[in-house]
Amino acid sequence: MIFFKLQASVFIMMPANDGFHGIPSEYVFFRVFFHALFWAQTIYIGYKIYLQSHIDIFFVDWEKQKGGHDVSIWRTILIVNEWNKMQ
């Protein structure tokens, strides 16, 4: 649906979602591709999770405590995020 803010009348609306005298709905093409793309993306995300879960990389922070305070966990998170950007 195309519309503009503060518009006084409807400009364009989507067609009705029903068949007309045996003619299939105009949304069949959209529905088929929507479901195909959804499942393709789901499979791709599952594949990426599978690949990333089988990597043997351990990040070890050897920094010592400073003044009796623990090293912030944010430093470790930032290092891991930079590693992810390099992939």
Q: What is the pTM of this model?
A: 0.47
Contacts 24+ apart (CB under 8 A), 69-72: none
Binned at pLDDT 50, 70 and 90, residue 14 comes out as: low
- Give pLDDT tens digits for 15-45: 666 666 666 677 778 888 999 999 999 999 9
Task: Return the closest-CA partner of residue 17 out of 28, 2, 8.
Answer: 28
* CB contact set of 12 (below 8 Å; sequence gap of 6+): 1, 2, 3
What is the residue whose two structure tokens read 């990040």?
Answer: 59
| Paired tokens of 40 | 């393709």
Which DSSP symbol is given to 67?
T
